[in-house]
Amino acid sequence: MSHEAIIPKGSAPPLAPYSPGVKVGNTVYVSGACSLDEAGDTVGVDDIKAQTRQVLEIIKSVIEESGGQMSDIAFNQIFLSDYSNYNEMNEVYAEYFPTNPPARYCIKADLVRPQFLVEISSTAHID
């Protein structure tokens, strides 16, 4: 089965050797997205809502570049640097998944940069 790297226009430079997304058949795997702009600068320092929105926009760009839409996402892995941000993250998250939200888990973890408050990775199935 083919393995296609998905790199949307305007993607931030990767922080390590990875692609923003990979499509294999009709499945799209989105790497853990952090709140970066296309220059690699952090968006929304100390603002969980702004960071969540940026992360989900990055995921959306990968999914759309793959020919899908956010409703094609079946599973999300969410990493928070602090559980005190859980409710505000969910407020923004619910805007992107208003009906039939994907399965997910959410854990607390140290993220690759101390200014990152949230990281989300996704798996989508595109018909």
Question: What secondary structure letter does DSSP report for 11?
Answer: P
- What is the pLDDT, as a whole number, of residue 127? 86
- What is the pLDDT, as a whole number, of residue 60? 98
- What is the pLDDT, as a whole number, of residue 52? 98
Question: What secondary structure letter does DSSP report for 42?
Answer: B
CA distance 34 to 55: 6
* Alpha-helical regions (H) of the chain: 48-65, 86-96
- What is the pLDDT, as a whole number, of residue 2? 86
- What is the pLDDT, as a whole number, of residue 1? 78
CA 112 from chain centre, in angstroms, equals: 14
33 close to 119: Cβ distance less than 8 angstroms: yes
13 close to 40: Cβ distance less than 8 angstroms: yes
**pTM as predicted:** 0.96
Place of tokens 């959306």: 60
* Alpha-helical regions (H) of 36-122: 48-65, 86-96
- What is the pLDDT, as a whole number, of residue 13? 85
- What is the pLDDT, as a whole number, of residue 14? 83
Question: Which architecture, in CATH terms, is 4-125?
Answer: 2-Layer Sandwich (3.30)
* Residue pLDDT tens, the chain, 127 long: 789 999 999 999 888 989 999 999 999 999 999 999 999 999 999 999 999 999 999 999 999 999 999 999 999 999 999 999 999 999 999 999 999 999 999 999 999 999 999 999 999 999 8
